[in-house]
């Protein structure tokens, strides 16, 4: 099964890790961040008229970047610092430091108007993107680190995971947190809400190659399990019932969430360090290589 329409490659001088994609009319915009020793870099690439090229680059103050996200003309960068940058066709400008006194481990956005971030000190913060001000802040746990969080499509509810194998659902409006009943032997490290219908949360045990799907509509959460071939770099929802998973040893699979869980291998060429998707567009990172893949819808 050939799922690929087109693919492109960009090679940088330093190792890459952070990635975010957006599609604007006939142009795909990509934000990338570097990884490793020395000064980290933030790059913006553009793919237009089948021409993938670097448009702009800026050095970062942070020693490491955990996550970044394109929001309209802004790039939000989380890690040692929590920062917002503004980019244009050939320039990136530092806009504001939201937080610099603790490590921001994860964040998600609501309608490009609000950001909800989680820190290693277990603090959930809601930010106004336009004013860059704190709307609310809550320490949700003691002696636990927030590893990852993900919001529903409407931003009213979300889920998060902690370093003590906790999987929780939180209500943004009520500022309340509820635990999931999970398989405690696992070590979840990534989580993704199904933003197509808000019905499932995907919890990923990267080391053991396991994706667990929890039905958020049930009080007693049921779990549907997917086993991948090796260590998972990342996985996400491609559409309502399709999941795309990228594994370290180079396997990229599209998995149908039905009774058969059919798997299709797209390609196996590089060790995959990270994967991000936007609609039918997939970005893959392998060391200092970035691959851009367009899938059939």
**Nearest to 290, CA basis, from 27, 28, 75:** 28
Average pLDDT, the chain: 87
Instruction: Tell me if 94 sits within 8 A of 55, measured CB to CB.
Output: no
Residue 40 vs residues 21, 35, 36, 80: alpha-carbon distances, Å: 19, 6, 8, 11
pLDDT tens digits, one per residue of 178-237: 776 665 566 889 999 998 887 888 999 999 999 998 887 775 666 788 888 789 999 999
Interior angle at CA 70, CA 65 and CA 74, nearest 5: 100
Q: What pLDDT is attached to residue 169?
A: 83
Question: What would the DSSP string read from start to end of 46-61?
Answer: EEESS-EEEEEEEE-S
Task: Count how many domains the chain has.
Answer: 1
Is pLDDT above 90 for 284?
yes
**Nearest to 74, CA basis, from 46, 96, 99:** 96
Q: Tell me how far apart the alpha carbons of residues 13 and 26 are, in angstroms, rounded to a whole number.
A: 28
Residue 198 lies in domain: 4-295
**Nearest to 181, CA basis, from 163, 195, 169:** 169
Which pLDDT band holds residue 117 (cuts at 50, 70, 90)? very high
Q: Tell me how far apart the alpha carbons of residues 144 and 212 are, in angstroms, rounded to a whole number.
A: 22
- Domain containing residue 122: CATH number: 2.130.10.10
Which pLDDT band holds residue 47 (cuts at 50, 70, 90)? very high
Interior angle at CA 112, CA 275 and CA 140, nearest 5: 80
- Supply 115's token pair: 């950001």
Q: List all residues 6 or more positions away from 169 whose beta carbon is below 8 Å from its beta carbon.
A: 157, 158, 159, 177, 178, 179, 180, 201, 216
Q: Tell me how far apart the alpha carbons of residues 297 and 239 are, in angstroms, rounded to a whole number.
A: 9
């Amino acid at each position: 099964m050939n799922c690929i329409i087109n693919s492109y490659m960009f090679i940088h001088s330093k190792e890459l890790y952070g990635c975010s994609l957006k599609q604007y009319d006939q142009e795909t915009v990509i934000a990338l961040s570097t990884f490793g020793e020395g000064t980290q870099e933030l790059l913006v690439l553009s793919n237009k008229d089948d021409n993938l090229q670097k448009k702009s680059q800026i050095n970062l103050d942070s020693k490491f970047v955990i996550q970044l996200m394109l929001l309209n003309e802004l790039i939000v960068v989380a890690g040692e610092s929590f920062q917002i940058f503004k980019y244009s066709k050939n320039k990136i400008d530092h806009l504001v430091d939201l937080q610099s006194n603790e490590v921001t481990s994860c964040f998600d956005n609501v309608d490009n108007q609000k950001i909800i971030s989680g820190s290693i000190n277990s603090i959930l913060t809601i930010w106004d993107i336009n004013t860059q001000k704190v709307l609310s802040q809550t320490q949700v746990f003691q002696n636990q680190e927030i590893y990852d969080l993900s919001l529903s499509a409407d931003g009213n509810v979300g889920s998060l995971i902690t370093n003590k194998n906790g999987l929780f659902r939180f209500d943004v409006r009520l500022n309340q947190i509820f635990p999931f009943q999970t398989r405690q032997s696992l070590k979840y490290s990534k989580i993704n809400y199904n933003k197509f219908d808000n019905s499932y949360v995907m919890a990923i045990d990267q080391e053991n190659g396991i994706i667990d799907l929890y039905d958020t509509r049930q009080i007693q959460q049921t779990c549907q399990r997917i086993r991948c071939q090796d260590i998972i770099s990342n996985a996400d929802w491609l559409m309502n019932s399709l999941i795309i998973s990228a594994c370290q040893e180079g396997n990229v699979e599209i998995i149908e969430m039905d009774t058969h869980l059919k798997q299709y291998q797209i390609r196996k060429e590089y060790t995959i360090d990270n994967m991000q998707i936007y609609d039918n567009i997939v970005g893959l990172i392998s060391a200092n290589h970035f691959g851009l893949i367009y899938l059939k819808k």
